[in-house]
Amino acid sequence: AFASTGDNPNSGVAIANPGTGTATITFQLLDTTGTTAGPSVTKTLAANNHTAFFINQLFPNLGSFFVGTVRITSDIPVVSTALLFEHDGQFSTFPVFPLQ
């Protein structure tokens, strides 16, 4: 999913767990060259539940300007989408594609 912070539009991710078990979800931040941009973050999401995070909430030490990608992996199937928020309140969603 696209990731940006700072003067760029701020991005986030929304995730739903439609399954019957708790999902362990890992977020890995990558810069524009595909290089890891810091430690991964792991969250759990209960069955039949959903949550959303801004990128700077997941990675609070990111700094005031970042553009890259967040890789989302889970131990069970989950559904996600990327969100892009402009500073004037406009927002849009982006599809998230599975890694092949």
Q: How confident is the model at residue 12 (pLDDT cuts 50, 70, 90)?
A: confident
Token code pair at residue 46: 């209960």
Its CATH architecture, for the domain 2-94, is: Sandwich (2.60)
Contacts of 2 by beta carbon, 8 Å cutoff, 6+ apart: 11, 69, 82, 84, 94
Residue with the larger pLDDT of the pair 94 and 45: 45
Please provide the average confidence, as pLDDT, over all residues in the chain: 85
Decide if pLDDT at 1 tops 70.
no
d(CA 59, CA 27): 9
d(CA 13, CA 55): 7
pTM score: 0.83
